[in-house]
Amino acid sequence: MSLYTLKPRFQALLRPMVRRMAAAGITANQVTLVAALGSVLLGWSLAAKGGPSAVFLLLPVWLFLRMALNAVDGMLAREHGQKSNLRGYLNELADVVCDAALFAPFALVAPFTPGWVGAVVVLSVISEFAGVLGPTRRYDGPLGKSDRALVFGALGLGSGCSEPCLPSPSGSCRCSQFCCSSPP
């Protein structure tokens, strides 16, 4: 089973907002570029920390937003007449750039290694492009985009909570009380 099976319900929730965005002149390509820029910036921020940090706690939130932006850009293209060859190339390229930018910082987090993280990035690129090669575009399959987002969101949550928790003057934990408890 894949999270992709939830897509129709997710899109139904987003549809009123997508209609307003189309009426406001927002294009699918603009949404795609915002998702790519946000992913690259977050990936850079994660890598700049050089290992586990509370910044990784942003990853599950961003991955959920990215899935919403991916649904929105597709709906704008299909339902509001914004399909084009350029759009198709931009969408596919942005997806693999986003995955690489967001997954690569895990190479700096134990127990992951650069080799294994690199292999996951290559396999995610293959998975994305394998969906393009058939007679119709497929988004499901083994560890499709939404499933990868769930897995890496969970890994981000764990990595964000793995830094040492430093108590604040109030006794709460620096990274969050959800992730760790204050020392006795």
Whole-angstrom distance, CA of residue 170 vs CA of residue 154: 28
Domains present along the chain, CATH in parentheses: 3-160 (1.20.120.1760)
Q: What is the dihedral of CA 155, 6, 68, 41, to 10 degrees?
A: 20
Do 34 and 173 contact (CB within 8 A), yes or no? no
What pTM did the predictor assign?
0.82
Give 58's Cβ-side CA count (13 Å radius): 13
Residues of the chain with pLDDT under 70: 1-2, 138-142, 163-184
Residue 166: what pLDDT? 46
Dist CA 53 CA 160 (whole Å): 5
Q: Tens of pLDDT along 41-73? A: 999 999 998 888 899 999 999 999 999 999 999
Q: What is the largest CA-CA distance in the chain?
A: 61
